[in-house]
């Protein structure tokens, strides 16, 4: 069954799903507005009125009028000259989302393209013939010009694409595979394909969905660390959270209470434990992770708006026949959202690494040093923690804001840019590291919980421990830690542990 896109009203749940291969269709009723918009462009050309990018040059060259007999060549030249991206291709899930977002934006009927352009995008997506889109070359205004040019190249039968088999082929062969003819671009169509924030938005959305999974996983491993260190659940009392009033904090505390409910380990030291307070990395999880959750929700709202927006330029208003130049291509909202997600990612990494360190220290955990079976002969998870520390440091270094930078381009015509694409692109590397840090916590927290046998943790955390043990058996003596870390990183990335988390996340709600 096709996943149906309603332009301007795509929910987060569908946006998350559109990263996967499968049939896609636009809802009924979009063609009439698109045809009216294309007709308005045709009328402006016929009247000889100047319109940016329709019968003028681009950027600083916008004062140059183009003769009518060269308007088609103008669009082809734009696509070819702007295909200046470099670096490795974007990941397949991101490219699928880029195509879907571009088709949905054009189908709103304000871009002046013919329905055939949108049909070609949808057919390409359904065939999973994915244009090779270099990751670097956009400054986030005027839209994601370079990467989107590489998408447009395939539509005109040029460039490169990857088929479902993984084979890289010429754009012309990809069109044959999708049963398409190369597009002959009409006035405005090349510009409409290139202008827009779809690449930066797709990158940021992909990161948002991955961070949601990591966040939910961190609640599971964080709760396991509480039990592993025989920590208290008192700091998660609802009355404490209510006095502060932050929604995210209250939601995280509620999730932790639920995750730890019924733990025999917790019950075993309610009376007679001399410790009055746990270290911050255990005790302040609602405050830190709650603040992260609030940022995730804010970024999700921003990116949902952007995913449903019309962000090219100029925009065509068919009802009045006007073509208006503006700046919807400026991706500042995406840049801010991406920077916020970077801060959130770094903080989850920070807190997770501190819990791992706590479990390594017998003075804090009450367990054997480094959770080693025979300390001294065995080093246990000593170096697993060092790896987590190294990755955390790298993650923090990547968290520096990108939106505060701007480099004027196009001979100073485009004199303030967002850097949204770079802001969103670096999130992938940060999340790669966070997934591994969480895998290490899963490995050590499971070992710590099992150190309290025959006492058992809560039902949910015992389920999590079982999932971990399927991938990484309990350490009875030293072995190669990298193998277990890789296996558990796959579990984290797949969302196996996240599914056990009770917290409400934006893309799960709709």
Q: What is the pLDDT of residues 252-288, one digit of tens each?
A: 999 999 999 999 999 887 777 778 799 999 999 999 9
Mean pLDDT score across all residues of the chain: 96
Q: Are residues 139 and 165 in the same domain?
A: yes
- Band (pLDDT 50/70/90 cuts) for residue 130 is very high
Q: What is the pLDDT of residues 319-365, one digit of tens each?
A: 999 999 999 999 999 999 999 999 999 999 999 999 999 999 999 99
Q: What is the pLDDT of residues 170-210, one digit of tens each?
A: 999 999 999 999 999 999 999 999 999 999 999 999 999 99
Three-state helix/strand/coil letters over 70-90: HHHHHHHHHHHHHCCCEEEEC
Mean pLDDT value of segment 409-428: 91
Q: Are residues 91 and 183 in the same domain?
A: yes
Mean pLDDT value of segment 40-68: 89
Mean pLDDT value of segment 222-236: 97
Contacts with 91 (C-beta within 8 Å, 6 or more apart), sequence order = 206, 428
Mean pLDDT value of segment 200-227: 98
Q: What is the pLDDT of residues 480-505, one digit of tens each?
A: 999 999 999 999 999 999 999 999 99
Instruction: Find the catalytic residue in 12, 19, 34, 52.
Output: 52
Q: Are residues 373 and 245 in the same domain?
A: yes
Residue 170 parent element (H or E): strand 168-170
Would you state the pLDDT for residue 270? 77
Would you state the pLDDT for residue 371? 97
Which pair of structure tokens corresponds to residue 119? 């049909």
Which pair of structure tokens corresponds to residue 77? 């030249």
Q: Are residues 304 and 437 in the same domain?
A: yes
Q: Are residues 126 and 36 in the same domain?
A: yes
SS3 168: strand
Asked if pLDDT for residue 369 goes beyond 70, the answer is yes
Q: What percent of the chain has a predicted confidence (pLDDT) above 70?
A: 100
Q: How big is the CA angle at 388 (ends 280 and 347), to the nearest 5 degrees? A: 45
- Band (pLDDT 50/70/90 cuts) for residue 410 is confident
Q: What is the pLDDT of residues 31-53, one digit of tens each?
A: 999 999 999 999 999 998 888 88
- Band (pLDDT 50/70/90 cuts) for residue 409 is confident
Would you state the pLDDT for residue 260? 98
**Number of domains into which the chain is organized:** 2
CB-based contact 396:426 (threshold 8 Å): no
Separation between Cα atoms, residue 73 and residue 129, nearest integer Å: 26
CB-based contact 449:474 (threshold 8 Å): no
Residue corresponding to tokens 């303030």 = 416
Asked if pLDDT for residue 510 goes beyond 60, the answer is no
End-to-end CA distance of the chain: 19
- Band (pLDDT 50/70/90 cuts) for residue 125 is very high
Would you state the pLDDT for residue 94? 98
Three-state helix/strand/coil letters over 96-141: HHHHHHHHHHHCCCCCCCCHHHHHHHHHHHHCCCEECCEEECCCCC
Q: What percent of the chain has a predicted confidence (pLDDT) above 90?
A: 90
Burial of 267 from C-beta contacts in 10 A (0-12 / 13-18 / 19+): exposed
Q: Are residues 101 and 219 in the same domain?
A: no
The total of other beta-carbon atoms located within 10 Å of residue 103's CB is 24
> What CATH number is attached to the domain comprising 274?
1.20.200.10
Closest Cα to residue 225, out of 366, 399, 398, 417? 366
Would you state the pLDDT for residue 268? 87
Would you state the pLDDT for residue 124? 98
Q: Are residues 171 and 242 in the same domain?
A: no
Q: Are residues 191 and 218 in the same domain?
A: no
**Cα radius of gyration (the chain):** 26
Would you state the pLDDT for residue 269? 79
Asked if pLDDT for residue 434 goes beyond 90, the answer is yes
Q: Are residues 45 and 154 in the same domain?
A: yes
Q: Are residues 16 and 110 in the same domain?
A: yes
Which pair of structure tokens corresponds to residue 32? 């009439």
Q: How big is the CA angle at 20 (ends 292 and 120), to the nearest 5 degrees? A: 120
Torsion region of 416: left, alpha or beta (phi above 0 gives left; psi -120 to 50 gives alpha): beta
Range of the structural domain that residue 403 is part of:
204-509
Separation between Cα atoms, residue 441 and residue 220, nearest integer Å: 10
Task: Let me know if 52 is a catalytic residue.
Answer: yes
Q: Are residues 134 and 56 in the same domain?
A: yes
- How many residues can be counted in the chain? 510
Residue corresponding to tokens 């999973």 = 128
Would you state the pLDDT for residue 459? 98
Which pair of structure tokens corresponds to residue 81? 């000259």
Mean pLDDT value of segment 302-312: 98
Q: How many CA atoms lie within 13 A of 371 on its CB side?
A: 29
> What CATH number is attached to the domain comprising 19?
1.10.275.10
Closest Cα to residue 443, out of 471, 476, 462? 471
Q: Could you say which of 196, 227, 258 is where a domain stops? A: 196
Q: How big is the CA angle at 482 (ends 477 and 486), to the nearest 5 degrees? A: 120
Q: Could you say which of 179, 196, 213 is where a domain stops? A: 196
**For the whole model, what pTM was predicted?**
0.96
64-68, 218-222, 288-292, 374-378: least confidently modelled range: 64-68
Q: Could you say which of 169, 196, 223 is where a domain stops? A: 196
- Band (pLDDT 50/70/90 cuts) for residue 412 is confident
Residue 323 parent element (H or E): strand 322-324
Closest Cα to residue 433, out of 491, 349, 376, 503? 349
Separation between Cα atoms, residue 435 and residue 360, nearest integer Å: 20
65-69, 154-158, 305-309, 316-320: least confidently modelled range: 65-69
Torsion region of 419: left, alpha or beta (phi above 0 gives left; psi -120 to 50 gives alpha): left
């Amino acid at each position: 069954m096709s996943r149906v896109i309603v332009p301007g009203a795509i929910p987060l749940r569908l946006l998350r799903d559109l990263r996967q291969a499968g049939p896609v269709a636009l809802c009924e009723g979009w063609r009439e507005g698109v045809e009216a918009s294309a007709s308005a462009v045709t009328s402006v050309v016929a009247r000889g009125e100047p319109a940016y990018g329709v019968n003028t040059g681009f950027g600083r060259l916008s004062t140059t009028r183009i003769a009518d007999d060269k308007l088609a060549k103008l669009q082809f030249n734009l696509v070819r000259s702007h295909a200046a991206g470099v670096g490795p291709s974007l990941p397949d899930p991101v490219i699928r989302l880029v195509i879907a977002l571009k088709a949905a934006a054009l189908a709103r009927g304000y871009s002046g393209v013919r329905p055939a352009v949108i049909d070609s995008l949808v057919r390409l997506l359904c065939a999973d013939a994915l244009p090779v889109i270099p990751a670097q070359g956009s400054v986030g205004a005027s839209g994601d010009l370079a990467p989107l040019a590489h998408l447009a190249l395939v539509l005109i039968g040029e460039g490169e694409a990857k088929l479902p088999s993984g084979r890289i082929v010429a754009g012309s062969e990809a069109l044959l595979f999708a049963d398409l003819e190369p597009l002959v671009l009409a006035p405005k169509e090349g510009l409409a394909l290139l202008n827009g924030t779809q690449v930066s938005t797709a990158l940021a959305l992909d990161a948002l969905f991955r961070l949601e999974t990591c966040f939910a996983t961190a609640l599971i491993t964080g709760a396991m660390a509480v039990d592993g260190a025989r920590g208290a659940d008192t700091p998660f009392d609802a009355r404490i959270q209510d006095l502060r009033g932050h929604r995210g904090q209250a939601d995280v505390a509620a999730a932790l209470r639920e995750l730890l409910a019924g733990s025999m380990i917790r019950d075993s030291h309610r009376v007679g434990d001399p410790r009055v307070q746990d270290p911050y990395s255990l005790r302040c999880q609602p405050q830190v992770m709650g603040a992260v959750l609030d940022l995730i929700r804010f970024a999700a709202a921003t990116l949902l708006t952007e995913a449903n927006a019309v962000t090219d330029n100029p925009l065509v208003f068919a009802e009045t026949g006007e073509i208006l130049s503006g700046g919807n291509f400026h991706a500042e909202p995406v840049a801010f959202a991406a920077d916020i997600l970077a801060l959130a990612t770094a903080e989850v990494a920070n807190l997770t690494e501190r819990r791992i360190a706590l479990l390594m220290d017998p003075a804090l955990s009450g367990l054997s040093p480094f959770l080693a079976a025979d300390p001294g002969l065995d080093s246990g998870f000593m170096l697993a923690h060092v790896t987590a520390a190294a990755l955390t440091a790298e993650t923090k270094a990547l968290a520096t804001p990108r939106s505060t930078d701007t480099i004027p381009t196009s001979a100073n015509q485009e004199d303030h840019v967002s850097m949204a694409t770079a802001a969103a692109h670096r999130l992938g590397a940060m999340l790669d590291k966070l997934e591994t840090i969480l895998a290490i916590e899963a490995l050590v927290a499971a070992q710590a919980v099992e150190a309290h046998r025959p006492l058992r943790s809560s039902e949910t955390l015992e389920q999590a421990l079982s999932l971990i043990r399927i991938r990484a058996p309990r350490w009875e003596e030293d072995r190669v830690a990298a193998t277990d870390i890789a296996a558990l990183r796959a579990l984290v990335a797949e969302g196996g542990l996240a599914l056990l988390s009770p917290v409400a996340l934006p893309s799960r709600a709709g």
